[in-house]
A and B are shown apart, each in its own frame.
Chain A
Amino acid sequence: MISFISRRIAGAGAVCLGLTVVLFILQHMSAVDPVRILVGPSAPQSVVEEARHRLGYDQPLVVQWFHYLQGLVTGNLQTSLRTQRPVTTDLGQYLPASIELALFAIVIATVLALTLGLLTAARKKGSGLFSGGLLALSSAPTFLLALLAVLLFYSTLHWLPATGRISVDNPPTGPTGLLTVDGLLHGRLDATVDAVRHLILPATCLAMLPAVAVGRVLRSSLTTAMGSEYVRTARAKGMSNSRILFRHGLRNSAVTPLSMAGLQLGTLFAGLVIVETVFAWPGIGLYLDQSIPTADFPAIAGTTLLLGVGYVLANTAVDIIQTVLDPRIVR
């Protein structure tokens, strides 16, 4: 198990290195001049070169990469060209928002997926309709989904806010950076409620794709489980359907959906970038989105690496949970 995890982490490390290399080369090839953007279009060339030198962009690629790696080990991801602050500082600032959004999305996705799976497995009426509808929703491009949601729930129905994390005055700050939690910690229920209202739309849009992906797998493995012989045994014992579903069905069919969930985290991260842009959600997705047009390489690389690491950790966790869930799994 330990060796397995370490192998996984090592692999991830390798990728991150590889990724930086790729990015460096690509960025060098690509016909963009970040420095020019940085100092401003009409600044004279002298000023540009000045800045280029200051930022070390005039050094050979290998040297630049080496410096980047040096920074990496000391947790320093260079300075963003756009915000001119250390990328780590920026990420540190935007991360909580993304985490909160992602967590909510995960919760919603889980609920949807479970409903999808259980409805079908329990052969409830309308399960087909439900899953069909969900599938249809998840087939729409996320940004369209998001805009339609805004149009409907914000400008037409006036039910939910469309942008930002919170709209109460002087919202609670610290310790966690998750407004919902901090609200509770500071006894600011209004803040928590408001934060949740802001979360609903983006989180739901974000949850759609993963929910369906996981839901389908869950549905399949649940159906298999419910057709299995140990479930027949349980029936023969005279247990009620629902008890069987939860006691015998669910746990045995959890493994596959879990790994799917792990994979879907990738989709979720990608969705963050889009959803945060539409809903003006101040997270790393938005950060990445704003870094792209200015070719803010340190920011792009930093964000990607951060998300990558998160992804690996999450999937490793998934594997551990699985071994707990199913005693037969050995790694």
Chain B
Amino acid sequence: MTSLVLRARAPWTSVTRVRGRLRIGGGLLTFAIITVVALGAPLVAPYGPLEPIGRPFQPPSARTLFGTDDVGHDVFSRVLYGTRQSWASSLVVVLVGVAVGLLIGAVAGLGPRWLDEILMRVTDAFLAIPAILVAIAVAAALGPSLVHALVAISLVWWPYYARIVRGEARALRQRPHVEAAVASGISRHRVVVRHVLPGMASTLVVAASLDIGYVVLTLAGLSFLGLGAAPPTPELGAMAAQGLSYFLTAWWIPIFPALAIAVITFAANVAGDAVAARAGGGR
């Protein structure tokens, strides 16, 4: 198991430099656009996410780009806010994961053996069951709500990062430049902060950026099972899932949020690959 996750979470060398370059452009661009949209939703969106702006079920038109939903909300505006929502959510999950993972992983990787043993047993235990299943169970027990879903996911997301960090720490620890730093007689704390931790940045960034898309999808999945955000929260997964009943009569209600999800995920993946290519090149 030890290197399992580490190895598993290494799809980044995948991108050959050339394709990498091609993708970096597109990927990062989309990524940037999405982020801008997410941040500027209130400015960009023509209407508020919860403010009905006309009759329900209006097909896409010049006034309402993506049409209106079953309540008469402007789907376009809701998708913008939803993008922000989903974005923030997945970011939160990933950041929490990274933070906790970094802490635990670093302590395990750089601390004394016995501590490493304990921490990794715990991590292994967490990894022994697929995160999303636990998330489903937890969310099911807690009852549907975006917060619950996020809690559920964050609860199970960090072990991956703990593994990555720990592995990286162990690897870096053996690297000549760390040895050299230690040998040169500078303080242990300084070695860790200046010579070890920065070395993990690229790996973590890559893992995280590749994860964002996955989290968005996971959230969407939970929403589909009625465990995600409860209406009328403008969360893409929830919007798509709850709009499914209009799939045949008012396709724009579920399709546009779903497309937004797809775009985010795709961009996140591609951008992740791109970052990876950079990181890979840097190594």
Binding site for B on A (CB under 8 A): 4, 7-8, 11-12, 14-16, 18-19, 22-23, 26-27, 29-32, 128, 135-136, 139-144, 147, 151, 209, 213, 216-217, 219-221, 223-224, 255-256, 259-260, 262-263, 265-267, 269-271, 273-274, 277, 288-289, 291-293, 295, 297, 300-301, 304, 307-308, 311-312, 315, 319
Binding site for A on B (CB under 8 A): 1, 3-5, 7-8, 10-16, 19, 121, 124-126, 128-134, 136-138, 140-143, 213, 217-218, 220-221, 224-227, 237, 240-241, 244, 247, 254-255, 258-259, 261-263, 265-266, 269-270, 273
A300 is contacted by which of B130, B140, B263 (Cβ under 8 Å)?
B140
CB-CB under 8 A for A307 and B130, given A143-B224, A263-B4: yes
Task: Please name the 9 residue pairs, one residue from A and one from B, whose CB atoms are nearest each other, closest first.
Answer: A266-B130, A220-B14, A26-B141, A139-B265, A308-B129, A270-B132, A139-B266, A144-B258, A216-B11
Q: List 20 A-B contacts (CB under 8 A).
A: A15-B126, A15-B129, A19-B129, A26-B138, A128-B19, A139-B217, A141-B220, A141-B240, A143-B224, A147-B247, A217-B8, A256-B10, A265-B130, A266-B133, A267-B132, A271-B221, A274-B221, A293-B226, A304-B137, A315-B128
CB-CB under 8 A for A143 and B13, given A266-B132, A270-B133, A304-B134: no
Query: Shortest Cβ distance from B269 into chain A, in angstroms?
Result: 6
Looking at chain A's contact residues, the main secondary structure is: helix
B141 is contacted by which of A139, A209, A297 (Cβ under 8 Å)?
A297
Are A315 and B4 in touch, CB under 8 angstroms?
yes
B225 is contacted by which of A8, A289, A297 (Cβ under 8 Å)?
A289
A141 is contacted by which of B10, B217, B269 (Cβ under 8 Å)?
B217
Q: Which of B10, B129, B143, B254 has the most CB of A within 10 A?
A: B129
Query: Shortest Cβ distance from B156 into chain A, in angstroms?
Result: 10
Are A11 and B125 in touch, CB under 8 angstroms?
yes
Query: Shortest Cβ distance from B64 into chain A, in angstroms?
Result: 21
Are A270 and B270 in touch, CB under 8 angstroms?
no
- A27 proximity list for chain B (CB < 8 A): 141
- A277 proximity list for chain B (CB < 8 A): 224-225
Are B237 and A32 in touch, CB under 8 angstroms?
no
Are A11 and B136 in touch, CB under 8 angstroms?
no
- A265 proximity list for chain B (CB < 8 A): 130
CB-CB under 8 A for A23 and B137, given A217-B8, A311-B130: yes
Query: Shortest Cβ distance from B35 into chain A, in angstroms?
Result: 17
Are A22 and B138 in touch, CB under 8 angstroms?
yes
CB-CB under 8 A for A30 and B128, given A143-B241, A262-B8: no
Query: Shortest Cβ distance from B100 into chain A, in angstroms?
Result: 17
Q: Which of A141, A143, A151, A277 has the most CB of B within 10 A?
A: A141
CB-CB under 8 A for A144 and B254, given A23-B141, A128-B19, A292-B227: yes
Query: Shortest Cβ distance from B75 into chain A, in angstroms?
Result: 15
Query: Shortest Cβ distance from A331 into chain B, in angstroms?
Result: 8
Query: Shortest Cβ distance from A128 into chain B, in angstroms?
Result: 6
- A269 proximity list for chain B (CB < 8 A): 130, 132-133
**How many angstroms between the C-alpha atoms of A291 and B121 in the bound complex?**
32
**How many angstroms between the C-alpha atoms of A315 and B221 in the bound complex?**
23
Are A307 and B133 in touch, CB under 8 angstroms?
yes
- B259 proximity list for chain A (CB < 8 A): 140
Q: Which of B8, B10, B259 has the most CB of A within 10 A?
A: B8
- A307 proximity list for chain B (CB < 8 A): 129-130, 133
A311 is contacted by which of B5, B129, B240, B247 (Cβ under 8 Å)?
B129
- A266 proximity list for chain B (CB < 8 A): 129-133
CB-CB under 8 A for A262 and B128, given A19-B137, A224-B13, A304-B133: no
Are A136 and B130 in touch, CB under 8 angstroms?
no
**How many angstroms between the C-alpha atoms of A62 and B163 in the bound complex?**
33
**How many angstroms between the C-alpha atoms of A307 and B132 in the bound complex?**
11
**How many angstroms between the C-alpha atoms of A27 and B131 in the bound complex?**
19
- B5 proximity list for chain A (CB < 8 A): 259, 263
Query: Shortest Cβ distance from A15 into chain B, in angstroms?
Result: 5
A8 is contacted by which of B19, B124, B143, B263 (Cβ under 8 Å)?
B124
- B13 proximity list for chain A (CB < 8 A): 220-221, 223-224
Query: Shortest Cβ distance from A76 into chain B, in angstroms?
Result: 19
Smallest CB-CB separation from B218: which chain A residue?
A: A270
Smallest CB-CB separation from B19: which chain A residue?
A: A128
